[in-house]
Amino acid sequence: MIDTVFNSVIVSEEELRSLLGTPSRTVANKVIHKLDHHCRDFISKSPIVFLSTADSSGSCDTSPRGDAPGFVHILDEKTFIIPERPGNKRLDSLLNILSNPYIGLLFVIPGLEETLRINGRAKIIRDTEILEKMAAQGKNPILGIAVEVEECYIHCAKAFKRSKLWDHSGWLAKKDLPKPSKIIADHVNLPDIDSDKIEAALQESYEKRLY
């Protein structure tokens, strides 16, 4: 479908570079290949990370993981573990990792416009002695996503500055926000499921099954 909609499509790096240019020396040299003290500090202060994965066919998925700052356990300069807390059981990220270990991550710290990007390979682990170190609310995670670091670098703040993400004055009033329960009910489109039932199920999950 996308091939029939657009008439001017970029198909080569040469054409792309002719339009957008090449990175500066600083940008070209900012990538490191291990967790130095700066990366460790950033991760320790981040309460949320976004995971990008793809299956063996290349179909992609992005999913957040979040908890109190420090929830990601750093094992050494090349390895860290993200605890897998209870979710909706779709297992999109985990199933992708089983078929394709490559993973991209974006760590975010509220109030800071720069982010930390890490690329590497992931495995799903069950090592009890490691998972116990990521216990929360008295519960150990059943699984963890272990990441072997290949690239680390700071991503500039331009997207956050353009979006003014941390500027509360630009946030929508609560009444103007999209209503997730209504969206889910419409997407599910089953006769016995409405937005009220979805809202009740969401609240029950948030209150009783976060950990």
159 and 180 assigned to the same domain: no
How would residue 4 be classed by pLDDT, with cut points 50, 70 and 90?
confident
Query: Could you tell me if residue 16 is inside a domain?
Result: no
Give the pLDDT confidence of 179-197 residue by residue, as tens digits.
Answer: 999 999 999 999 999 999 9
Query: Could you tell me if residue 9 is inside a domain?
Result: no
Distances (CA, A) of 207 to 69, 77, 84, 85, 210: 20, 36, 18, 14, 7
Q: Report d(CA 200, CA 194) in Å as an integer.
A: 10
How would residue 166 be classed by pLDDT, with cut points 50, 70 and 90?
very high
Query: Could you tell me if residue 18 is inside a domain?
Result: no
88 and 111 assigned to the same domain: yes
Domain that holds residue 203: 172-208
Pairing status of strand 102-108 against strand 48-54: antiparallel
pTM, 2 dp: 0.96
148 and 48 assigned to the same domain: yes
103 and 186 assigned to the same domain: no
